[in-house]
């Protein structure tokens, strides 16, 4: 139910961005990768199914990634455990981050910026308010955003069984890398 509500809210936010008013940028190419660096095992995976939109006039944004789309695990069994036991991707299909750009920089102008965003990060059906920094490079109307942050599994109700405690990190490193284009541009 929580996953449906998150998806509904995300869809509603995207629908709100669909009106022609304002200056809106959408993800042209985007990927999310994560790394679990535990004492006995390094796990890395990546999804190229990042979706998102930024409304420059309202200074708001909405991002979503399909949790079942991650690839690159050490083995097929590890991917299966990720989807079924930890992330429960049939129940919690997406992770989202929605909110506002805090800083006042006009990132539509050519240049390099470091901006802060504040919003709700929803992973595994649990939302947490976060402030996340991003590096932004704008050139010729294209905006590239790169952000690195951590996610604590415990904060999102993701339990690590004692038997694999040394193989899965409690804090996961996440990198978001996306290129945006002006909608209709």
Percent of the chain predicted with pLDDT > 70 = 88
Assigned fold of 2-182: Lipocalin (2.40.128)
Q: What whole-number distance in Å separates Cα of residue 25 and Cα of residue 53?
A: 6
Q: Rounded distance, CA 172 to CA 179, Å?
A: 23
The full set of domain ranges for the chain reads: 2-182
CA-CA distance, 126 to 124, in Å (whole number)?
6
SS3 state at 170: coil
Here the tokens at position 134 are 């991003």
Q: Which residues does 11 contact at the CB level (< 8 Å), separation at least 6?
A: none
What was the pLDDT predicted at 21? 60
pLDDT at residue 13, as a whole number: 45
- Write out 98-110 in H/E/C secondary structure: EEEECCCCCCCCC
On whether the CB atoms of residues 65 and 32 are closer than 8 A, the answer is: yes
Residue 10 and residue 5: Cα distance in Å, rounded? 8
pLDDT tens by residue, 116-163: 999 999 999 999 999 999 999 999 999 999 999 999 999 999 998 888
pTM of the prediction? 0.86
Q: Is the pLDDT of residue 169 over 60?
A: yes
CB contact at 8 A, 158 and 84: no
Is the pLDDT higher at 52 or at 21?
52
Indicate if the pLDDT at residue 103 is higher than 50. Answer: yes
Give residue-wise pLDDT tens across range 38-52: 999 999 999 999 999
* pLDDT value at residue 14: 47
Residue 65: the pLDDT is 98
Instruction: Provide the token pair at 181.
Output: 């284009």
């Amino acid at each position: 139910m929580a996953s449906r509500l998150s998806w509904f809210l995300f869809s509603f936010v995207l629908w709100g961005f669909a009106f022609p008013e304002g200056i809106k940028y959408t993800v042209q190419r985007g990927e999310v990768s994560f790394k679990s660096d535990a004492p006995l095992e390094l796990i890395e995976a990546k999804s190229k199914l990042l979706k998102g939109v930024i409304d420059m006039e309202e200074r708001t944004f909405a991002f979503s990634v399909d949790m079942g789309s991650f690839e690159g695990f050490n083995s097929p069994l590890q991917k299966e455990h990720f989807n079924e036991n930890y992330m429960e991707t049939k129940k919690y299909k997406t992770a989202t981050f929605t909110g506002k750009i805090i800083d006042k920089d006009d990132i539509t102008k050519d240049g390099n910026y470091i901006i802060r965003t504040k919003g709700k990060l929803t992973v595994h059906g649990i939302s947490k308010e976060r402030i996340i920094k991003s590096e932004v490079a704008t050139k010729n109307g294209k905006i590239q955003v790169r952000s690195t942050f951590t996610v604590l599994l415990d904060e999102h109700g993701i339990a690590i069984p004692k038997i694999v405690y040394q193989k899965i990190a409690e804090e996961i490193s996440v990198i978001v890398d996306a290129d945006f284009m002006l909608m209709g541009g």
